[in-house]
Amino acid sequence: MVLSSAPPKGQADVPQRRRIKDKSSKMGAPLAFMSPFLLLFAIFFLLPIGYAIYESLLQIKVSGLGIGPNSTTTQFAGLANYAKVLANASFISGVGRVLEFGIVQVPIMLILATTLALLLDSASVYLKRFFRLVFFLPYGIPGVIAAILWSFLYLPGLSPIVSILKGVGFGSINFLGIHSVLWSIANIVTWEYTGYNMLIIYAGLQAIPQSLYEAARIDGASEIQVAFRIKIPLVVSSLVLTAVFSIIGTLQLFSEPQVLRSVTTNISSSFTPNLLAYTKAFVENNPNFAAAAAVVLAVGTFILSFGFLKLVQRRALSEVEV
């Protein structure tokens, strides 16, 4: 993404004359402008990260029977919590589950979003404004409410979908089964975010100068060729942006499975890594393990999204500049 790109030259130029004359405004003014943000950023971003690392290095030791105020002591544990997290079968299977989810759901959603954006940008589709509004609508519905809504649509007896499918002859399909429930969650996430991703890609498409298409059409390119040869390569940066945010969202999956737990027992309290961390911290009262799990997850997310970014950036650059 933007992380490695140099700042646009010349934007930040304060004329030389002033820089030499007035030293205090050189540091003073920008610091004054940035200090409210930097202060809050330090307290609510950097400090929690530091504190999570600190907590993850401690553990609570119980002495005697564990009764009474002085029966527990907190001591330094080194990397013991990390060892426990990485050896925890629930954590590992949770990570595996969200990875499986991501490998299937993210490409489906992005292909769908790209297709819709290309169609909206093409000449073959009418009622563009209407479709754009409709596709974007689910993003205006908070994730928890979307999950509650879909939980009703999955529930036999309540759901018109289940009864219609039964009427058409599909039998009674169980959306909340032990294997199907993961994909039912994938459907909720796809429903929520396809339109948002479509809009990002569509914004990229709209920024392409029309003259590029004209040149291609004079050369006799079909609309599909234009889409694959010109449009998609030119919105690669938007696609990367959507992919990175989708990867982050997938690994952090929490609200949708948490909400669906009220309608099915097939989602365990360790279904996703975040659910496990939540359970450890608030149900089992083990904040140290939870902190270590949160750190592992955050580092993993960062490596994966950053790595993806670097990988694609290099390839995209070499392709576009040919």
Partner 1 sequence: MSIAPPIAPERQRAPFRKSSILAMAFMFVMATYFLLPAYWLVISSTKGPTQLYASQGLWISGFKLFSNLSGLFSYNGGIYLQWIINTVLYAGIGAAVATLISALAGYGLSKYNFKGKELIFSIILGGVLVPGTALALPLYLLLAKVHLTNTYWSVLIPAFVSPFGVFLARVYAGAAIPNELIEAGRIDGASEFKIFRTIAFRIMSPALVTIFLFQFVAIWNNFFLPLVMLSNQKLYPVTLGLYSWDNQYGQAPQLISYVVLGSLISVIPLVIAFLSLQRFWRSGLTAGSVKL
User: Which residues from 123-162 bind partner 1, rule CB under 8 A?
Assistant: 123-146, 148-153, 157-161
- The answer to whether residue 234 forms part of the interface with partner 1 (CB under 8 A) is no
Nearest residue to 259 via CA among 141, 140, 103, 110:
141
- The answer to whether residue 251 forms part of the interface with partner 1 (CB under 8 A) is yes
Residues 258, 144: Cα–Cα separation, whole Å: 9
Task: Give the C-alpha distances (Å, rounded to integers) separating 135 from 140, 200, 203.
Answer: 10, 12, 14
SS3 category, 60 = strand
- The answer to whether residue 12 forms part of the interface with partner 1 (CB under 8 A) is yes
Q: Which is nearer to partner 1, 19 or 314 (CB)?
A: 19
Among 110, 185, 267, 290, contact with partner 1 (rule: CB under 8 A) = 290
Residues 179-208: x/- map of binding to partner 1 (CB under 8 A)?
A: ------------x--xx---xx-xxx-xx-
Contacts of 117 (CB under 8 A, 6+ apart): 198, 199, 201, 202, 205, 235
Residues 148, 160: Cα–Cα separation, whole Å: 15
Among 238, 246, 270, 286, contact with partner 1 (rule: CB under 8 A) = 238
Q: How many residues contact partner 1, by CB under 8 A?
A: 118
Q: How far is the CB of 12 from partner 1 (least distance, A)?
A: 5
- The answer to whether residue 215 forms part of the interface with partner 1 (CB under 8 A) is no
Q: How far is the CB of 52 from partner 1 (least distance, A)?
A: 4
Which among 46-54, 59-67, 68-76, 82-90 is the span making contact with partner 1, rule CB under 8 A?
46-54
Q: Which is nearer to partner 1, 64 or 228 (CB)?
A: 228
Strands 58-62 and 72-76: antiparallel
- The answer to whether residue 36 forms part of the interface with partner 1 (CB under 8 A) is yes
Environment class of 91 (CB within 10 Å of its CB; exposed 0-12, middle 13-18, buried 19+): buried
Q: Which is nearer to partner 1, 64 or 293 (CB)?
A: 293
Q: How far is the CB of 64 from partner 1 (least distance, A)?
A: 26
Q: How far is the CB of 26 from partner 1 (least distance, A)?
A: 6
Does residue 147 contact residue 256 with C-beta atoms inside 8 Å?
Answer: yes
Nearest residue to 286 via CA among 270, 299, 300, 302:
270
Among 20, 23, 44, 67, contact with partner 1 (rule: CB under 8 A) = 44
Long-range (24+ apart) CB contacts under 8 A made by 235-239 are: 235/114, 235/117, 235/201, 235/204, 235/205, 235/208, 236/312, 236/316, 236/319, 236/320, 237/204, 237/316, 238/200, 238/201, 238/203, 238/204, 239/110, 239/114, 239/201
Among 86, 226, 232, 248, contact with partner 1 (rule: CB under 8 A) = 248
Among 90, 173, 240, 279, contact with partner 1 (rule: CB under 8 A) = 240
Among 86, 232, 244, 268, contact with partner 1 (rule: CB under 8 A) = 244
- The answer to whether residue 72 forms part of the interface with partner 1 (CB under 8 A) is no
Does residue 242 contact residue 197 with C-beta atoms inside 8 Å?
Answer: yes
Question: Which tokens go with 165?
Answer: 């499918």
Q: Which is nearer to partner 1, 59 or 255 (CB)?
A: 255
- The answer to whether residue 105 forms part of the interface with partner 1 (CB under 8 A) is no
% helix, strand, coil for the chain, step of 5 = 70, 5, 25
Q: Which is nearer to partner 1, 16 or 65 (CB)?
A: 16
